[in-house]
Structure 1
Amino acid sequence: MSVRIMTRVWDIRLPDSEKLVLLALADCANDEGLCWPSMATLATKCSKSDRTVQASIKALVAAGHLSREEVPGRGCRYIVHPTPEAVSPPKRLRPEKSSPPKGATPTPEAASDKPSRTITSPVASPPPRTRASKVRPFRLPDDWKPERFADGTVAREVIDRRGRDWARAAMEAFRNWAKNARDKDGIGRKTDWQAAWANWVIEQDKRDGRHGGSQRVAGTDGRGGSASGMGPTVDAASRFLARRGIGEHHEPHPRG
């Protein structure tokens, strides 16, 4: 766009259609007045039909405000030179065969009468979804150690209430069960052994309560009460450890 040429166009008196077409050409021209917009571009800029634009161009050329030259294979080339008074048309330009004139800046429109097409960038496709890796059930590792149950959980309340000896015996029973459990139906395999240990603690506490020996002290009822006073789970674990010749001070306390 050449502001200098557009200013000169505003200073001359012309019919509405001709002045609008000349302004549209000046909007496409460089500082030398050279441009080559398509007929569709001019018609769109002026909101006029192709026939009206062509008639206005013919009148502007005759009035000396515009020079028009057809270039084979490149459409029409224009030179805008508005003058206050009509003058004779300038000499015909000699088109260059291989390249446009020096100093000319290309216009954004294609040099043809075909309407330009707007190319829109494709919408970016969302990234492919990745499948989260699924943990497969596995046997209890030999070096597995339980984590301390969080405060406020049922398992934590059971451990605090039953005491260390009960928790140690429950862990021993849990490990023996996990070691000897069959793989049939996935019984002996878990994806979260910490959660399995918590469930074991809760269920073992319920079983001891059903047997009625969870809080009995030895020799108080005379009817086969708990020998340790801590319930049948601790009694069974104590007998098992005694057979193996392991004392309490040798057995690590589970981190329930």
Structure 2
Amino acid sequence: MSVKIMSAVFESETLAPTERLIMLALADHADDTGRCYPSISRLGRRTGLSERAVQTNIRKLVNQGYIRVIAGGGKNNTNVYFVSANPAADAPCTKCTPAADAPQTPQQMRPNPAADAPEPSGTITKPSEEPLFIPPREKSKRATSISDDWKPSQKNIADAHKQNLTDWEIENESEKFRDYHKSRGTKFKDWDAGWRTWIRNSREFAARSAPRRQQPQAGQQFSGLAGAAMRSRVARQQGYEG
């Protein structure tokens, strides 16, 4: 807070009521150099004005030389304001009137300047044409843990059907998927992608683990139930052939 600037704003005789209110709100955030960077929404809350009204009056104050704006120069890309209770010396004058005893010149008697009137020699600082309000950046999505009641969505089920999983297999894999990641405390930004990887790996593992039928080799002996079944089948085949 700059008490110095606030006192000067209170004593100003040229500020309109709404402009004075915004200047006081800016001075409440400023240091003694007049530098501050409150957001438009914060100024609206402090003054009770709409954001549109705040922006409109800030443009007026810029044109009158009370405020200088650096768009996006503050924290989180907010505008930086340099506040002065007295208009800048080179600001365009909006309420200037000639002295009562000042002599009139031909150009002052014209309602509009002549078409070939020369450009003024003084340098006039134009207000910034950058927007006074810059929306905050969208926050990136954070990784989260799986919920205790996670169930596959319709999209997850559709992805599983593309891998030729049956409804029973989807239900079984979803329980294993949830219990596995819950026990390990896994965190993903995209759980849909994690599910697609899971069912793809599950299908590939099932294909590799499928039992293959092996033909008995000549002279190979089997014991136990396997041997009994093999001998029974051979006996039946010999009986048919006899």
Q: What range is the shorter-chain TM-score in?
A: 0.3 to 0.5
State the TM-score, normalizing by the size of structure 2.
0.36
State the TM-score, normalizing by the size of structure 1.
0.34
Q: Which has more radius of gyration? A: 1
Larger RCO (CA within 8 A; separation ≥ 6): 1
